[in-house]
């Protein structure tokens, strides 16, 4: 099995993937739009992208406010609501088809988006 340590944005391959997972990634990257564009380019048409990220408009986050540990993470560069994440996905030809409240992290969301076939 081959392994390579490289920045996701810099990764080059002719291979297309059926499924990609971005678990707690988008809140850490300097350009989430560029990261989603890269993921979209690496997926087969109708491929699935699973995204997990804190939801800063979740009931939990609203209830605890600035005591939410996700708001105090020094490495979180981006903050998303369901609406802002959906907008970003859709701008990159990724159609949200499932939304779940995370069972792993209070106040986080898990979204599945399918790549639109663009012909």
Domains and CATH numbers, the chain: 17-115 (3.40.50.150)
**β-strand pairing of 17-23 with 43-54:** parallel
**Coil, strand or helix at 113:** strand
The whole-number pLDDT of residue 9 equals 86
pLDDT in tens, 72-98: 566 777 888 999 999 999 999 999 999
Is this prediction's pTM over 0.75?
yes
Rounded to the nearest 5°, which phi and psi values hold at 51? -125, 130
């Amino acid at each position: 099995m081959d392994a390579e340590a490289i920045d996701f944005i810099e990764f080059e391959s002719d291979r297309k993937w059926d499924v990609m997972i971005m678990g707690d990634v988008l809140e850490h990257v300097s350009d989430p739009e560029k990261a989603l564009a890269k993921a979209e380019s690496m997926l087969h048409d109708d491929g699935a992208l699973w995204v997990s990220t804190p939801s800063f408009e979740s009931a939990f986050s609203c209830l605890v406010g600035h005591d939410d540990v996700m708001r105090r993470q020094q490495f979180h560069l981006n903050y998303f609501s369901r609406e802002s994440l959906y907008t970003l996905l859709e701008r990159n030809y990724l159609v949200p088809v499932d939304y779940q409240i995370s069972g792993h992290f209070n106040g986080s969301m898990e979204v599945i988006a399918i790549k639109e076939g663009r012909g």
